[in-house]
Structure 1
Amino acid sequence: MLEPNGIPLDSAAVASTVLEAILYGFSVLMFIGTMWALIHRRGMIEMNKKMVAVANLLLFFSTTHLIIDIVRTEEGLVQYRDTFPKGPVAFFSDVAQWSFVYKNMVYMLQTLVGDAVVIYRCFVVWQSLYIIALPILLWCSVALTGIGCVYSISQATVNKENIFAPGTGPWITAFLASTLAANLLSTSLLAYRIWDVTREVGDARVGRSSLWPILRIILDSGILYSVSLLAALLCFVTKNRGHYVLLDMIMPIISITFYMVIIRVTIKRTTSQDMQATTRLTRGFSTNRQSIPERQHYPLKPLQVHITQLTETNDGDGDIFKSVSNAEDIGSSKTAASVSDVAIYT
């Protein structure tokens, strides 16, 4: 059997708390930007109350987790440094400590909220319960294994100084594998739907100017979270204590990936609206110039123009971006329109 290896636990406690605090600072800044995007820009009446609630919930969980980590570090290195048997290393190895149990419970809740948001966005895009059936089952697996993790840790009596022990290790492995699978599958389904609609638009150049940036946003956030989970899972499977550091870092990363999607989509939408306004002004100027007599005239031929635009609708819960591709045959009365509803619930 593999023996635990890697960074000492007292050093891991300091490193994980510092890195988590740095990422938490970024997440707070992004939370402020998210609130601006959801409330200030849309107004109190039209704001997406569901996403506002999720954003605040993620901030609450990540803040609580950081506070527990700070208290835990102070207890292990200062308060019980000379009184705890075998010193700080033994303190941080004791999985039955209240701080370790509660921080893992908060991490489980944060994970459930983050995964639920990805699955919900997937449902909004596909509008089909059959598509998200497997992600929902994986989410239920995350919930069950997460509860098993917290319970097994809180009840640990034998080998409680070893997180990799048979009583706790399999639960944690199953939890990390379940959340990784749920995130990968939901993100893949969401990205595929957006890619499929972009492909159906037909004009690749126009498609890239509308939906490709949104697709990149989805992939960026999904990859960031998935890589973090994969690294934590590999560390735990190989019994490397580095997973303590990675799991603490994942807490603010979950919040960051959620905030990143909303902020970047809002910036993209604002840029698109500015470009549309500039285009209308340019067309108006060109129309005024048509009154000027021209010496040369060229015969006009029927022309097919593909126009792709991002429109927004409000259904009382939030904004759904729609990709609309209209093909108009100028010079004739025939118009072909293909409308596909896709994108991100913000």
Structure 2
Amino acid sequence: MSTGLTSAYIGAYLCAFLYGAYIAVAYHCSAVMYHRYKARRLHMYLLGVHITLFILITWRSITTMARTLNGVIHLAPSGTIDLHPKWSTWSLVENVPWALTTIVADAFLVYRTYIVWSQRYLVIIIPLILYAADVGAMIYVFVLLANSNTTVAQSNNVATVFAAVTLSANIVCTALISFRIWTVQRNLAGTRQGSDPLSGIVALIVESAAIYTVVLIPQIVTLIIRIPIYYAFFDIQAPVIGIVFSMIIIRVSRGEAYGDTNEITDDIAWHRSTTENTASNVEIRLQTTTSTHSHDVEAQHGESKASTETNPESPACKA
């Protein structure tokens, strides 16, 4: 068995293992979001990201395992695992969710950078430029995958570009989020009594998606120097994204993430509840106004009566 096929087989095995871990984290994430839904404090953008990532990661993981098992069962004439060419239908079905998962994760990371930096547009200019380049590279990947004349060298080159742009965007966003969290922790260090420094480190690692960025580094390195182990890194990328970003969603949903306040979160608009609360508030305001007006009238009448009794020269006494 060649090194590339061995790497693909190992990658499928690791993908299955990490997908199982992702399912456990995703279940916990869903439970947290369900409690937020019952409390009518659910963030819609978090729900959308969670569902989208779950669909894409499940799609990617199942097709990766199915493609490998199919290759094991149906061996090539040479006796090796037949994974089909990169421009085959199998490859397209497997790699489309991989690219889309990467794009969704990068978009979420750019948005988190925007939130952590108190919605400052200037901070995310470079991440947005890199994200646009990432989307363009993804489209080019799809074009090459759909072309049967695409060579292995061409597919590797465009995959290298896509991975490099993705890594650049993640490094910038991770650095910005980490610096922001570290600055906030340093400023609050003198005001917190008995704060746990370990929890601050965990928050920095989780919220900055540092683990995902660390996984991307060996992926791009092995891809550039053409070591076939990069197949394994590509296969584990989707479930790693699921685990890392589900942990971020859990922290944001619990209100433990930096930069999230009631003013900047996208909660569900509960129309009926809002209407009832508005009506109740109007009624309370009307009752308060009426009661206040009545008290004012009574007070004015009492003052007028008192002044009349104490002032014998008033018109009422003269009459």
TM-score relative to the length of structure 2: 0.74
Where in structure 1 are there 5+ consecutive unaligned residues? 1-5, 271-309, 320-346
Q: Which residue does the alignment assign to 1:101?
A: 92
Question: Cα 1:118–1:208, aligned 2, differ >3 Å: closer, same or farther?
Answer: farther
Q: CA deviation at 1:104?
A: 1.5
| Contact residue 20 and residue 248 of structure 1 kept, 8 A | yes
Higher strand share: 1
Amino acid at match of 2:71: G
Alignment correspondent of 2:199: 213
**C-alpha deviation, 1:199, in angstroms:** 2.9
CA–CA separation in structure 1 for the residues paired with 2:254 and 2:185: 20
Equivalent in the alignment of 2:220:
233
Give yes or no for the alignment of 1:38 onto 2:38.
no
Quote the Cα distance in structure 2 between the aligned partners of 1:70 and 1:93. 14
Superposed CA offset, 1:146-170 (max 9, x none): 12122213214264xx3xx1x2222
Secondary structure of the corresponding residue to residue 65 of structure 1: helix
Q: Distance in 2 between matches of 1:134 and 1:311?
A: 22
Deviations 1:67-125 (A, max 9, x none): 211221132121x32xx454544x33621121112222111100011111111011112
Contact 1:198–1:211 under 8 Å retained in 2:
no
Q: 1:211 to 1:151 in 2, by over 3 A?
A: farther
Structure 2 residue 47 is matched with structure 1 residue 52: yes
Q: Does the C-alpha gap of structure 1 residues 214 and 147 become closer, same or farther in structure 2, counting only changes over 3 Å? A: farther
CA distance 1:11–1:241, shift in 2 (3 Å): same
Aligned counterpart for 2:66 among listed residues 59, 68, 71: 71
Q: Out of 300, 317, 328, which is 2:266 matched to?
A: 317
**Structure 2 Cα separation of the partners of residues 96 and 240 of structure 1:** 20
Alpha-carbon distance in structure 2 between the residues aligned to 1:244 and 1:136: 28
Q: Which residue of 2 aligns with 1:302?
A: none
**2:93 is aligned with what amino acid?**
Y
Q: Secondary structure at the match of 2:262?
A: strand
Structure 1 position 207, deviation (Å): 8.0
C-alpha RMSD over aligned residues: 3.0
| 1:210/1:262 CA distance change after superposition, 3 Å | farther
- Of 174, 180, 185, which aligns to 1:193? 180
User: How far does residue 222 in structure 1 lie from its aligned partner after superposition?
Assistant: 2.5
Matched-pair contact (CA < 8 Å) for 1:96–1:153: yes
Structure 2: how far apart are the matches of 1:207 and 1:145?
A: 48
Corresponding position of 1:11 = 6
The CA distance in 2 between the partners of 1:120 and 1:269, in whole Å, is 17
Q: CA deviation at 1:180?
A: 0.7
Query: Is the CA contact 1:95–1:154 (under 8 Å) kept in the aligned structure 2?
Result: no
Q: CA deviation at 1:7?
A: 5.9
Q: Deviations over 1:36-94 (max 9, x none)?
A: 2222145262111210111111111111011211221132121x32xx454544x3362
User: CA offset at residue 208 of structure 1?
Assistant: 7.9
Q: Secondary structure at the match of 1:255?
A: helix
SS of equivalent residue, structure 1 residue 132: helix
Give the 3-state SS of the residue equivalent to 2:192 in structure 1. helix
TM-score, normalised to structure 1's length? 0.68
Among candidates 233, 255, 260, match of residue 246 of structure 1: 233
Shift of 1:260: 1.6
Q: Which residue of 1 aligns with 2:294?
A: none
Higher RCO structure (Cα 8 Å, ≥6 apart): 2
- Tell me, yes or no, if structure 1 residue 120 matches structure 2 residue 107: no
Deviations 1:281-340 (A, max 9, x none): xxxxxxxxxxxxxxxxxxxxxxxxxxxxx9952656159xxxxxxxxxxxxxxxxxxxxx
Q: Number of matched residues? A: 265
**1:92 is matched with which residue?**
83
Q: Which residue of 2 aligns with 1:111?
A: 102
Give the counterpart letter for 2:262 in structure 1. Answer: T
Could you tell me how far apart the structure 2 residues matched to 1:196 and 1:224 are?
20
SS of 1:131 mapped into structure 2: helix
Contact 2:252/2:260 (CA < 8 Å) preserved in 1?
no
The answer to whether the Cα contact below 8 Å between 1:173 and 1:233 also exists between their aligned partners in 2 is yes
Tell me the CA shift for residue 214 of structure 1.
5.0
Counterpart position of 1:144: 136
Between the aligned partners of 1:311 and 1:260, the Cα distance in structure 2 is 15
Q: Which letter does structure 1 place at the counterpart of 2:172? A: L
Structure 2: which 5+ residue stretches go unaligned? 269-319
> Separation in 2 of the partners of 1:109 and 1:217?
27
For residues 256-267 of structure 1, the aligned pairs below 5 Å read: 256-264=243-251
Q: Is the 8 A contact 2:87 2:150 kept in 1?
A: no
Report how far residue 216 of structure 1 moved.
Answer: 3.2
* C-alpha contact 2:140 2:158 (8 A) present in aligned 1: yes
Amino acid at match of 1:209: S
In structure 2, do the counterparts of structure 1 residues 234 and 50 end up closer, same or farther at CA, with 3 Å as the change threshold?
same
